[in-house]
Amino acid sequence: MTTLTEPGTVTTRRSNRLMWAILGLVLLAEALDVIDATVTNIAAPTIARELHGGEGLIKWLGTSYMLAMGVLLLVGGRLGDKFGQRRLFLIGMSGFTLASAVAGFSPNPGLLIAARVAQGAFGALLIPQGMAIMTKAFSRDMLAKAFGLFGPILGLSSVGGPVLAGFIISADLFGLSWRPIFLANIILGGVGLVIAAKILPRDDDSDRSTVVDGWGSGLLAVAMLGLLYGLIEGSTNGWSAVPVASITAGGLFFAAFAYRQRTATHPLITPSLLQNRGFTSGMLVGLSVFAAGTGLIFVLSLFLQEGLHASPRDTSLGLVPLTLGLIVAGFAAMGGLVAKLGRTLVFLGLAIVLAGCGWLLALVDHSGTNVSLWAPAPALFVIGIGIGLCFVTIPTVALGDASPEEAGSASGSLSSIQQLASAIGSAAVTSIFFQAATSGLDHAMKVSLIVVLAVTALSLPVVALMPRTAPSEPHQ
């Protein structure tokens, strides 16, 4: 009975319930992002066949989403500071839900890719707001509990998304084939939008004087689009003047972006970070490893479906060992290994990736496409552990030499690098796979693995330039 409680207890309980509700909402948004970033790993071959999109569509399905997300993540955070996190969260959730509906009902490849770009763009508005809202509204103890839940929830999402996609496609619900993997977001996003409108605190303390570097964002977007379009177009339809010109233009625009970051009054990346050897080394290692890891996961799905003729459901189950390795490594790293080992853990992660890829290469070289679906499971688990250690450890250790004033920009920059690297890796490794597939899918898988091994090995010397230890208090 409330009459027996101490004064303020009822209010405190309501406040606690509200904070848990906000946490659930933020986790829903994060889960939607992870699921939509990974579902096309399984669904791409089916979508390409039914929409007659060919190799180009397979390459763009994941790349377009991650490209838009990576380019706009930093901008999304700045817009939240300028116009209020609640407003941007509602806009992001609304746009993401609408874009998902368009993706689910798309009748042709062009509209589907446009919808994927819109999903990534609105996701970039949505995701940064959650952390900012929690930082403002939560007590220190509640914030610690909240961050402790992110790993398990996002880990389950990374497993559940592709597995669910595989089962949905195989089940052919209502004769819709792959479409429900996007249409489900209408329900989840709609529920999230209603809840957000009711419970998110109004933020009247937004700083309208916050400057958003629109020119910098535009230059980066054009640069990345030029590079990726040239890569995908050239590898799909031949290296004519168009893809070569596109890649050249992308390089020129990236140079302009770099110059803008050095001269702008309010650049997207704090200039002192670019002079920090530990941070820039971490960005280079992250760019290489995120690209190679994401690309490898994508072509593994293609190899299982096209080479071993596994169904989408069986493919999703066949990749579970890799995802479990990612989760195990992530928990181990965040459980204290990063703090104890620092950059040594990055070395260890890269070494494990090399061992797992070498193991898988030997298996494919020996058995080709006659290998059973479950024969690669041990090697995939080892690869998952290595990639998981790298994915968790690199962004954390790279912040080791960043000052508290630089932490926000550094963390946001690394998140953008991860998304952009994933877009590059998805396009590049998939292009290599299809180029080599003319000599057989087992040959394509071997070539892809050799490329991943080479990129991973070349990253090892750069790790020695990263900070020795992670920050004493992780920057969120």
Domain 10-211 has CATH 1.20.1250.20: yes
* CA dist 332 → 355, 393, 468 (Å): 19, 10, 19
Instruction: Output the six-digit token pair for 124.
Output: 């970039």
pLDDT band at 37 (very low <50, low <70, confident <90, very high): confident
Position 142 confidence tier, pLDDT thresholds 50, 70, 90: confident
CATH architecture of 273-476: Up-down Bundle (1.20)
Percent of the chain with pLDDT over 90: 39
What are the boundaries of each domain within the chain? 10-211, 213-265, 273-476
Confirm whether 10-211 and 273-476 share one CATH topology: yes
pLDDT band at 269 (very low <50, low <70, confident <90, very high): confident
- Over 70: is that where the pLDDT of 188 sits? yes
Whether 468 has a pLDDT exceeding 90, the answer reads no
pLDDT at 205: 62
**CB count in 10 Å sphere of residue 221:** 19
**pLDDT value at 156 more than 90:** no
Kindly write down the DSSP assignment for every residue of 333-377, as one continuous string.
IIIIIHHHHTHHHHHHHHHHHHHHHHHHHHHHHHHGGGS-TTTTH
Residues with Cβ within 8 Å of residue 119, at least 6 apart in sequence:
36, 65, 68, 96, 99, 100, 103
pLDDT tens per residue across span 388-401: 899 888 888 888 87
- What average pLDDT score do residues 252-270 get? 85
Distance, CA of 130 to CA of 143 (rounded, Å): 12
- Determine the pLDDT at residue 238: 82
What CA–CA distance (Å, rounded) separates 267 from 398?
20
Q: What is the pLDDT of residue 440?
A: 92
Q: How far apart are CA 275 and CA 185, in angstroms?
A: 42
Residue whose C-alpha is closest to residue 226's, from 380, 100, 71: 71
392 is written with which tokens?
A: 């968790």
Per-residue confidence (pLDDT) for residue 194, from 0 to 100: 94
Q: How confident is the model over 207-220, as a mean pLDDT?
A: 78
Mean pLDDT of 48-72: 90
State the burial class of residue 252 (Cβ atoms within 10 Å of its Cβ: 0-12, 13-18, 19+): middle
Q: How many residues does the chain have?
A: 476
Q: If phi over 0 gives left and psi between -120 and 50 gives alpha, with beta otherwise, what is residue 6?
A: beta
pLDDT of residue 9: 46
pLDDT at 475 over 60: no
Nearest Cα to 369, choosing from 446, 472, 435?
446
How does pLDDT run across 402-446, given as a tens digit for each residue?
Answer: 777 666 677 778 888 888 888 888 888 998 999 899 899 999 999
pLDDT at 4: 41
